[in-house]
């Protein structure tokens, strides 16, 4: 793959990895009370929901534009693993098993971003952090 194509693949990959969190964060705003109730039903304090929303939306945007990318990738990888372990451990339910594996796969993708950095088309590169 040419260096130019690789630059765009890194950018598109960051965007694709982040879209799910951006949409999820906005959906949590729209369904705040229901999400808070669901969190509390499994023992997660509902007062954490604003932090979850901030991480999902803020982290997604940061990774998309390549700003402090490694740190946000690490945070979203940890968040994905925590969500898998808290919300998707019912392996008797095939949907929950798929959701668990999806979260683990997303965490793996973010670990690759953490390891390799955002690439050339990023604010980190422009600001000399990459």
Q: Where are the domains of the chain?
A: 3-119
CB 73 within 8 A of CB 110: yes
pLDDT of residue 82: 98
**Residue 130 pLDDT greater than 90, yes or no:** no
Torsion of CA 123, 22, 8, 122, to 10 degrees: 10
Full-model pTM: 0.94
Q: What is the pLDDT of residues 94-108, one digit of tens each?
A: 999 999 999 999 999
**Alpha-carbon dihedral of residues 46, 86, 76, 2, nearest 10 degrees?**
-150
Q: Are 49 and 83 in contact (CB under 8 A)?
A: no
User: pLDDT (tens digit, 9 = 90+) per residue, 30-48?
Assistant: 999 999 999 999 999 999 9
- Please identify which residue in the block is written with the tokens 């990318």: 69
- Contact (Cβ atoms closer than 8 angstroms) between residue 119 and residue 11: yes
Residue with tokens 């509902």, as numbered in its chain = 46
Q: Quick one: tokens of 73?
A: 């990738």
């Amino acid at each position: 793959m040419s260096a130019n194509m690789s630059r765009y693949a890194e950018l598109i990959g960051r965007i694709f990895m982040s879209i799910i969190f951006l949409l999820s964060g906005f959906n949590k705003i729209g369904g705040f009370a229901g999400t808070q109730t669901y969190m509390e039903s499994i023992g997660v304090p509902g007062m954490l929901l604003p932090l979850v929303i901030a991480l999902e939306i803020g982290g997604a945007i940061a990774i998309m534009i390549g700003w402090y990318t490694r740190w946000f990738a690490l945070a979203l990888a940890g968040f994905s693993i925590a969500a898998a372990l808290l919300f998707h451990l019912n392996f008797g339910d095939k949907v929950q098993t798929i959701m668990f594996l999806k979260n683990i796969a997303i965490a793996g993708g973010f670990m690759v971003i953490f390891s390799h950095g955002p690439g050339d088309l990023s604010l980190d590169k422009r600001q000399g952090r990459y």
